[in-house]
Amino acid sequence: MAKTKKKKGLLFKVVAYSVCILLAILSILPFWIMFVNATRDTYQIQQDALSLIPSTHLFENLKILLGKTFDPLKGLTNSMIISTASTACTIYFSALTAYALVAYNWKLRGPFFTFILAVMMIPAQVSIIGFYQFMYKIGMTNNFLALILPTIATPAAVFFMRQFMVASLPLELVEASRIDGASEFYTFNKIVLPIMKPAMATQAIFTFVSSWNNLFLPLVLLTDSNKYTMPIMVSLLRGDIYKTEYGAIYLGLALTVLPLIVAYFILSKYIIEGVALGGVKG
Amino acid sequence: MKQRKNVSYAKYGYIFSLPFIIVFLIFSLYPIFYTAVIGFTDYKGLGVTSWHFLDNPFQNFVTIINNHSFRQALYNTLVIWILNFIPQILMALLLTAWFTSRRNKMRGKGFFKVIFYLPNIITAASIAILFYALFGYPVGPVNSLLVKLGIVDGPVYFLISKISARGIVAFIQFWMWYGYTMIILTSGVLGINPEIYEAAEIDGTTGWQTFIYITIPNLKTILLYVLITSMIGGLNMFDIPKMFMQGGPDNSTLTTSVFIYNQAFSGSYLYNRAAAASMIMFLIIAVLSGVLFYLMRDKSEIELRKEAKRLKKERLMIAKEQEAL
Amino acid sequence: MRKLISLFLVVLMVFSLVACGTDDNTTTTAAAGETTTTAATTAEPASTEKTVLNVWSFTDEVPTMIDKFLELHPDFAAKYEIKTTIIATTEGAYQPALDQALSSGGADGPDLFTAEAAFVLKYTQGDASRYSATYKDLGIDVDTMIKDADIAQYTVDIGTNPNGDVVGLGYQATGGAYIYRRSIAKDVWGTDDPAEIAKIIGPGWDKFYDAAADLKAKGYGIVSGDGDIWHAVENSSDTPWVVDGKLNIDPKREAFLDLSMQLKENDYHNDTQDWQDAWFADMKDAGAKKTFGFFGPAWLINYVLAGNSEDTFGDWAVCEPPVGFFWGGTWVLGAAASEKKEAVGEIIEWITLDTTEQGLQYLWANGSMNADGTKDAVASGKVMGMSNGELEFLGGQNMFDIFIPANQFANGKNLTQYDETINTYWRDQVRAYTAGTKSREDAIKSFKQMVADNLDIIVE
């Protein structure tokens, strides 16, 4: 009995680890290729787009990169402002809205939830035309708020938070807090938010990544070079259609991705450790 | 008593959802509504500022439904979504089972979890270009590997074949999103009350039994989330097919979103037709989501209510015991 | 019922929003203009007296030129300040942003903008041509100057609006030539003289395919892939894709199906695709068989071939192509709504029509504009005649000897604003046909279907 169990455990480990290692290689490969290409020159890349061996042109690429309209410090700052603010808005207000949907019994709750689900389903490609013309009309081009404010209403994040709350927010805790005389707002901030940490961290990563990588909307809305984000700057490197500096583009992409990876590794600890279960355990 | 409480707190439901509603009305609903309206008009062409409602308001819808490319795009979108979603959800569930297993504690699962999400970090455009280069013809990494290993005699023109092009797009989608799905599912599992697991362990259930009878039922709301968002995302798939081969070869990776984009921007500026196509897609997705909701809703809600009742009872009992003491 | 009421309320609110949006149009744009100018002035307080010129471009080439213009014209620089907006053509973002800016106008609207060959027709002859100022309105004596400068006719044709007025001109000339390997020419025909080779490979496709057979016999490919001949085929056609709103397949373009199939069936090329790894590899003899040559304008030599050639550097020459064509190019336009037309005209004249040694084109042709001294063909035949186009890459050949006539053969009258999209559809179908996945009839049928489905063009 014990023997078969051991065997089973071993088999499990062999299978699980080989699958995981294979997937891990598949995941890391593109990053490796990107960083390697950042050290190769345009012609090397044109001849063979995929190489695993770094070359020696890193500083040349950096020179080309900085010679163009590429100012990594400015780009990083702008991207950081937009992405951080968007992420904060998304997770806080989505949690708040989801809480309104879960904790309170109000008349329009049902219709409101259905409504959120409905708008989530509208294809984005064309309502973008309307959004963009609207921003022009109200003079919000070249204004970060045009990219940040709309994230207060992120239906998909509300939906996720709601699903998470329905499954794991004990309403007894809320009631207990009320009995202690806490205000509703205080209860949300001090009792509910900590319980939501795994969900918030998850959404924070996704929101941050998509906001950071967002290209089309910023490209169209931010036309002042002082407001360019990192992806805009990288896309400009491709603007010259006859002479594309691939090495510099990869270096730009690598620089764009690095802060993301750092932010991701910081936030990922919440997902991995599953910190916030304290609220339930007590 | 309960009744009275709900009435007095109900206003917070409105207050707390107010920021969402205000921002939504301003920044989302106006553009969406704008789109819906122009679907019924003759609004096309560049720089056109005035438009009129059509004599037959559904003309654009009829045109789109009869459009050969749109039908093809609808078919492609469904095929590619299914091809990527089934392996994706299975892989994500498997990894979730492994990583949250209380019995077989895997080493380095934190590392793997972090790594698997990485493909999602790079912009879709770069990934599409990367894969295009990977499957290059007549010279490309995949081809040279296949030839070297003796699997094929000469280079294969992957990107001219409809089946392989669709397969590659589905694979890219799978590869980009299984980590995301896995993270969502694990965060759902972490939200499950550990007491339930402890009880199960005392009852002596095996790892698989725990996963199937406890984890999955408790994950239902999150699974519904994954299913619906993936379906919405999948049916709106844009970046990869657009950047990979512009919907080619021969329309085989043309998704409805790429079709809509092409209608609006690729030369004729057919905003009205693009809007009509958007609305048709909206209807399709809404119906499908409605079906999913209906299928998954009752059971999970009922179970949750039961769970809540049970917990309440337990608490009441504990309270009574304490009072008795 | 309650749901209905809530829906009704929402709809009502939206209607009021729509109404506000349209009514406030003029006032809000004015406000937008105001805020941005104040932002600009606070950023550079010293320049408050200068007039701002807004330049929109998809490449940083033109803004760099304008910097040079300011450097050479201090009087102008004292009066005007340039505000540049560069938006890459990637993901099609440049055009929607430019269109929006042009139609809103105002203080922030573009005064000067650039357009690439793929979409310039839209701004010179198509839907957006009403936003482009005629060169005459910009104060340029355009007809005389075009004659004096000997500007390539196809660039003028493309830049002329339906009323017959010039609204856009280029600085670069992108008339195409055939760029071939000297050593291979000697091996096959015993000569590498451009005049001789031009007679062997042309004129006309029949002679070109005879030459391909000669090359094949010695184990060479005449081109790298069918994309190489496409630009020549496209531009040698007599009629455009769209005539009177109807799709028109010019016989010469239809023949691309057969030309492409001939290349494939006879194994005259390495079956590569332009801009892919294998195509670049053929520039340094790394393909399955050595490639004799490429079709292209001067920029292909400078930006693509020279850097990728490696050991073959210096073993190249240019000659007249079997059919005349052009490929790419940037046009410079002034905005009709601009209130600083005179200043815009001065810059545009310097870029597109100034034939002196201080004019942009002379600097451009002789490589004084960029750090690495890359020489390029320019629109003015006169300037090219004054300039030295000798390149080491071409074994010392003066490329302008070929490119001046090449610009005259290019045809600028067979284009439409839909070309980029339609060309993609056409080449996809041709590729399916040559790969054997489709019959000739089916390829044409699918092509027509694609055009009918996606564009507002009548297909019969």
SS3 sequence, chain C?
Answer: CHHHHHHHHHHHHHHHHHHHHHHCHHHHHHHHHHHHHHHHHHHCHHHCCCEEEEEEECCCHHHHHHHHHHHHCHHHHHHEEEEEEECCCHHHCHHHHHHHHHHHCCCCCCCEEEEECCCHHHHHCCCCHHHEECCCCCCCCHHHHHHHHCECHHHHHHCECCCCCECEEECECCECEEEEEHHHHHHHHCCCCHHHHHHHHCCCHHHHHHHHHHHHHCCCECCCCHHHHHHHHHHCCCCCCEECCEECCCHHHHCHHHHHHHHHHCCCCCCCCCCCHHHHHHHHCCCCCCECEEEECHHHHHHHHHHHHHHHCCCEEEECCCCCCECCCEEEEEECCCCCHHHHHHHHHHHHCCCCCCCHHHHHHCCCCCCCCCCCCECEHHHHHHCCCECCCCCCCECHHHHHHHHHHCCCCCCCCCHHHHHHHHHHHHHHHHCCCCCHHHHHHHHHHHHHHHCCCECC
- The interface predicted TM-score (ipTM) is 0.81
Cβ distance of A243 and C85 shorter than 8 Å: no
Query: What CATH number corresponds to the domain at position B242?
Result: 1.10.3720.10
Helical segments of chain A, H only: 2-37, 42-47, 58-67, 72-103, 109-120, 124-137, 145-148, 155-168, 171-179, 184-187, 193-195, 197-213, 216-221, 230-237, 246-273, 278-281
Would you call B221 an interface residue with chain A, using a CB distance cutoff of 8 Å? yes
Sign, CA dihedral C216-C222-C225-C227, equals negative
Domains of chain A, each with CATH number or no CATH:
2-62 (no CATH), 67-281 (1.10.3720.10)
* CA dist., res. C433 & res. C428, Å (int): 9
Helix (H) or strand (E) segment spanning residue B296: helix B271-324
Look at residue C1 in the predicted model and tell me its pLDDT. 36
| Residue A250, pLDDT above cutoff 80 | yes
Interface of B with A in 241-260 (CB under 8 A): 256-257, 260
* CA dist., res. B129 & res. B227, Å (int): 28
Number of domains in chain B: 1
Residue C196: how many other CB atoms lie within 10 Å: 13
Q: Which domain holds residue B315?
A: 68-324
Amino acid identity of residue B120, one-letter, is: N
Cβ distance of B28 and A150 shorter than 8 Å: yes
Contact C250, C424 (CB under 8 A): no
Residue B77: how many other CB atoms lie within 10 Å: 24
Chain B residues within an 8 Å CB radius of C422: 267
Note whether residue B154 is domain-resident.
yes
End-to-end alpha-carbon separation of chain C, Å?
A: 51
Closest CA to A100 of A165, A186, A194: A165
Note whether residue B248 is domain-resident.
yes
Query: Which chains sit next to C, with 3 or more Cβ pairs under 8 A?
Result: A, B
Print pLDDT tens along chain B (325 aa): 344 444 467 888 889 999 999 998 888 888 888 888 888 988 887 666 678 888 888 999 999 999 999 999 999 999 999 999 999 999 999 998 888 877 777 778 778 888 888 888 887 777 887 788 788 887 778 888 888 888 888 888 888 888 999 999 999 999 999 988 988 888 788 777 778 888 888 887 777 888 888 888 888 878 888 888 888 888 888 888 988 888 878 889 999 988 988 888 776 778 889 889 988 988 888 888 888 878 776 555 566 666 666 766 776 776 666 666 5
Would you call B119 an interface residue with chain C, using a CB distance cutoff of 8 Å? no
Cβ distance of C278 and B136 shorter than 8 Å: yes
Contact A199, B187 (CB under 8 A): yes
Chain C residues within an 8 Å CB radius of A134: 21
Note whether residue B54 is domain-resident.
no
| Residue in A with minimal Cα distance to B274 | A126
Cβ distance of C303 and A242 shorter than 8 Å: yes
Residues 6+ apart with CB under 8 A from C370: none
Whether the upstream peptide bond of residue B138 has omega within 30° of 0, thus cis, is: yes
Work out the pLDDT band at A83, boundaries 50, 70, 90: very high
Would you call C28 an interface residue with chain A, using a CB distance cutoff of 8 Å? yes
Interface of A with C in 238-257 (CB under 8 A): 238-243
Which of C11, C18, C57, C280 to mutate to probe the A interface, most A CBs <10 Å? C280
Would you call A208 an interface residue with chain B, using a CB distance cutoff of 8 Å? no
Note whether residue B19 is domain-resident.
no
Chain A residues within an 8 Å CB radius of B24: 119, 153, 155
| Residue A278, pLDDT above cutoff 90 | no
Would you call B37 an interface residue with chain A, using a CB distance cutoff of 8 Å? no
Distance from CA of C1 to the nearest CA of B (A): 19
Note whether residue B39 is domain-resident.
no
Closest CA to B172 of B124, B242, B230: B124
Distance from CA of B90 to the nearest CA of A (A): 13
Contact A200, A157 (CB under 8 A): no
Would you call B249 an interface residue with chain C, using a CB distance cutoff of 8 Å? yes
A249 token code pair: 């583009």
Work out the pLDDT band at C8, boundaries 50, 70, 90: very low
Note whether residue B162 is domain-resident.
yes
Note whether residue B236 is domain-resident.
yes
Domains of chain C, each with CATH number or no CATH:
46-173+328-386 (3.40.190.10), 177-325+393-454 (3.40.190.10)
